[in-house]
Amino acid sequence: MGVLSSAVSSRTALYRWSMATLAGNMILVVTGAVVRLTGSGLGCPTWPHCAAGSFVPHSSMGIHSVIEFGNRLLTFVLVILSVMLVITATLTRASGRVRSLAWVVLVSIPLQAVVGGLTVLSDLNPFVVALHLLLSVAIILVAVKIVWLVGRRPSAEVDSMTMGAVRGTVALMAIVMWLGTVVTGSGPNAGDSGAHRTGFAIETVARLHGISVWLTIGLTVICLLLGVMHKAGPLRRWALILLIVEFAQGAVGYAQYFAHLDPWLVALHMVGVAAASMAVGALWSSVRPLRTPDLSR
């Protein structure tokens, strides 16, 4: 009983559960890519069952069903982590903001499972697959904010222009990731040989994706320069980290394009998606709006 109490009733426990929740959702991005790249997207051809009348795969269904079912099981792990996060935030009397964000994560995990089910039922429609990824990115952003608040990490007070640059970077990163799913949805790594494709020319969407990446890099550089100019340490640090991740992602992205979407490079690119989501979330958390003085006093 003492072990259980210590696992849910201290600030250290709250920080650990928030970190575990963040890590779990980042892993989900990567395992989802593994499902697609191994052609296991319809390994369990229905939802919520894996096969007709069974929640678990039959031995005759092959390795693809095991891979897809394993990804589904990760959802239950994420539910447990988010439940523990909510319980610990409540017992430690964390701030109302932390408790609210913890509930957002908890509600979002089942929602993510439903979107995953729609992905299967739509025969891996690429636009539904895109929603599946973007929801994971949104959950990661929320989880980063929880880690930031629980860990009491510093944030810089910045003016409206700097705040706009940071928010613009977050928005552009979301567009980058969405266009990345369009590229994948137009290429060979569909998740199943019978999966729908977007019908777009992959060269065209890849160029649009590349342009969005360079725009995001440019805005990240502006954030870095603003952080240096205003001596905003947290902003400067995370803008630099994000910039490094972006350049690494760009290098892998160009490599996979010229390698005709080699699955191993695509998998590495998805690791970068998880890292970029975390980094841009930290960039967003590293700043807060400048307080305007109350002139009525």
DSSP character for 40? -
Q: Which string of b and e fits 208-247 if b means at least 16 CB within 10 Å?
A: ebbebbeebbebbbbbbebbeebebebbbbbbbbbbebbe
E strand map for 121-171: 156-158
Task: Please tell me the predicted confidence (pLDDT) of residue 293.
Answer: 58
Q: Which CATH number fits domain 155-291: 3.30.2000, 1.20.1330, 1.20.120, 1.10.10?
A: 1.20.120
Q: Give, to the nearest 10 degrees, the angle between helix 11-37 and helix 63-91.
A: 160
Q: Which of 67, 82, 75 is nearest to 20 (CA)?
A: 82
Question: What tokens does 268 get?
Answer: 């590495």
The CA-atom distances, in angstroms, between 221 and each of 3, 86, 279 are 47, 36, 14
Percent of the chain scoring above 90 in pLDDT: 53
90: left (phi over 0), alpha (psi -120 to 50) or beta: alpha
- Please give the full DSSP string across 68-129, using - where no structure is assigned: HHHHHHHHHHHHHHHHHHHHHHHHTT--HHHHHHHHHHHHHHHHHHHHHHHHHHTTS-HHHH
Question: pTM of the prediction?
Answer: 0.90
CA 42 remoteness from chain centre: 22
Q: Domain residue spans in the chain?
A: 10-153, 155-291
* Cis peptide bond upstream of 48, omega within 30: yes
The CA-atom distances, in angstroms, between 57 and each of 70, 110, 228 are 10, 21, 55
Backbone angles phi, psi at 88, to 5 degrees: -65, -40
- The three-state secondary structure class of 8 is helix
| Residue ranges for the chain with pLDDT beneath 50 | 1
Q: Which of 272, 287, 294, 284 is nearest to 26 (CA)?
A: 272
Task: Please tell me the predicted confidence (pLDDT) of residue 4.
Answer: 53
Q: What is the pLDDT of residues 85-123, one digit of tens each?
A: 999 999 999 999 999 999 999 999 999 989 988 988 888
**CB contact at 8 A, 205 and 261:** no
Other Cβ atoms closer than 10 A to 2 = 6
